[in-house]
Structure 1
């Protein structure tokens, strides 16, 4: 929420490169942690670095994109999180564990981040403030950068913050508790549960790329409404699916396509196109920050309480409720897609 706005003032590279280096080194140091508290502090540093990198990288991609391809480009960028972090990540970690310890795995994954830091230093160039403001995603005329208070006055930013919170209810609840639901409530064995739960990673990859890409063509508002509605329908279907792997995989895949697609759509093109000139990273940071703190933090606390009180299956109704509320919120979203605005004009 705070470091995202810093890159709007000092440039993308000055935030991207240090944040990625700190993230990578903190990952490696995690393997040297001697106890819970030291590991917790190290992972906290990783969270700060990730929080600085994400909105800044989204803004950099938006500024490098044609207005008609922002959804496609930012969707492709963000889909890598689900594909490698939740899809291939566990398999990569398991393969690495075949010849090293978990501490060694943390040390090894430092290397790609340092390589990418060097590539960013070589490839990404900061645009001048005038270029960023006159040639930015919405081609608005050059004017002084807005303050954070002014960014919060933009209706789409406020709706995006609430909308991402609702989407995060679906994302984090399903990602954190679906495997437990499959094993504890439906009594699937480990292999069957893992097979069904893999839909989270691969569905997330598909959704984070497809939904923003379609929004380039059909508009941000219609696809946001469809995303929340589809997510709610698939979560409801998942709740009412028995212990059969294929239906579980299919409904969970559909739910995560929609939920992760909304994450990419709201924090990507909607944030970029709604932001005042020169404040793209600030807008994305505010939207992502609220979604992470409340959707990724508070929602899990609520889900834990519901599970302890009413059983593991009750957490699915939290995800369903969040997505259903999101449908209503998106009707108040202002359309920003350049192609749709051109047709309207």
Structure 2
């Protein structure tokens, strides 16, 4: 008889917890059961600071905690979109795969935090120097920020002072406002931006689009390699007490040439002052650059079969073996129209 009474009681308890605070992970909502995956323990560094996995964009850091993988999926998508650093915040003792045990531990830890007792975590960061924006991601447990992330913010509040923080969370049905308030209380000297991202069980399928739109709203953009503008394509060519200027082409060969500067080379006279040439080592790339030109005085080219740079002092017929990489500005080529070799220094403006 006692068994029959126990079953309704357990069902009532589980649905009551979900109603009090749904989450995508622990505790999971009835419409979105928790997954059984468990994060790998890894080789945590208990005695020192952890090093985030680096990306190409060092302006941003993604910190996240996740048990079943939903928050981790969002964190990895942010990291991929921005090509930035990422680090998982892990509890000192991994969570049990058993759902009931997880519920019990989550409740105990949340109650402990209300008394000022934060559960131990394995993750620490020495400093946040250089980061313009720090993303904090977590599942919502019973309406609150997951306890490992609360512990992390509590322990690193001083190091996060003056930093900008962007919150993202996953939840079965609960809102994010309560956990945003917790973040502000835990890090009173940081700036938690108002626009947070919440992914619920009904919006997880649109994760990619929602993350992209959110990043645009908060001004987080991926850093792309600098594309030279008109001024950065300019170079100075000096010989003796004379300096002339040239403008390089915005193609692969021109950019490769610019990357080698400054250079000091001897321009050898070729074909009776038709052109002045030198051989860069290694040869400049010509991938993707248009081949073929009829050089005019002042044109800077590559003769592909030999790999030499040729600055033309006279006009020459069209050749499919020439790639134009720049041009001497104005009448500056007059400085190079002399008999014999010319020693020059070439540098960016």
Give the structure-1-normalised TM-score.
0.21
Higher helix share: 1
Higher strand share: 2
Give the structure-2-normalised TM-score.
0.21
Which protein has the larger Cα radius of gyration, Structure 1 or Structure 2?
Answer: 2
Higher RCO by CA contacts (8 Å cutoff, separation 6 or greater): 1
